[in-house]
Amino acid sequence: MSETLLTLDLGVTTGWAVFQNRELVNYSQTTMLNSDLPLLLAEYNPDIVILEKPVIFRGPLGDDLQKIIALAHYFANGRTVIECEPSDWKPTPAAKSPVPKGTSQHEKDAIRMGLCFIQYWLQGNEERTNVPG
């Protein structure tokens, strides 16, 4: 059975990565999540969507980030959605995995978050993080 995973490093600029059958197939970043996320979901139809929750501050930026989180949940409705924090995956060896050259920090985080999910949560490695779900 085919398995598709979409990871989102949420923020004003959102990095995203798509894995099919546990292999990275595409990645990028966007500042237009409200228009790009529905397209990503339609194109790849992921079984699982992982959202990395950004640190929320008070004020206009915090308000914008709260809207981005709500937007991601709205569009991912009906799929398995897992929220995580940087501390859930960044302490793992996957956080240092090689990524394609020329990737932005947001893209790197989305790719590495997906690799962590695959290596630790799906394959059940002995080393585990405090990942929700």
Q: What's the confidence (pLDDT) of residue 66?
A: 83
Question: What residues make up the domain containing 116?
Answer: 4-122
In a domain, 133, yes or no: no
We report the CATH number of the domain holding residue 38 as 3.30.420.10
* Residue linked to tokens 């002995």: 126
For the chain, the domain total comes to 1
In a domain, 14, yes or no: yes
In a domain, 57, yes or no: yes
Q: Longest Cα pair distance anywhere in the chain, in angstroms?
A: 45
In a domain, 128, yes or no: no
In a domain, 62, yes or no: yes
User: Could you state, in chain order, the average pLDDT of each consecutive group of 10 residues for the chain (133 residues)?
Assistant: 85 93 95 90 93 82 83 86 90 91 96 91 52 45
Q: What's the confidence (pLDDT) of residue 67?
A: 84
User: DSSP H helical segments within 45-104, as ranges?
Assistant: 60-75, 86-89
Q: What's the confidence (pLDDT) of residue 3?
A: 86
Q: What's the confidence (pLDDT) of residue 122?
A: 65
CB-based contact 114:5 (threshold 8 Å) = yes
Q: Residue 87: CB partners within 8 Å, gap ≥ 6?
A: 130
In a domain, 33, yes or no: yes
Q: What's the confidence (pLDDT) of residue 72?
A: 87
Q: Is 84 helix (H, G, I), strand (E, B) or coil?
A: strand
In a domain, 131, yes or no: no
Q: Residue 67: CB partners within 8 Å, gap ≥ 6?
A: none
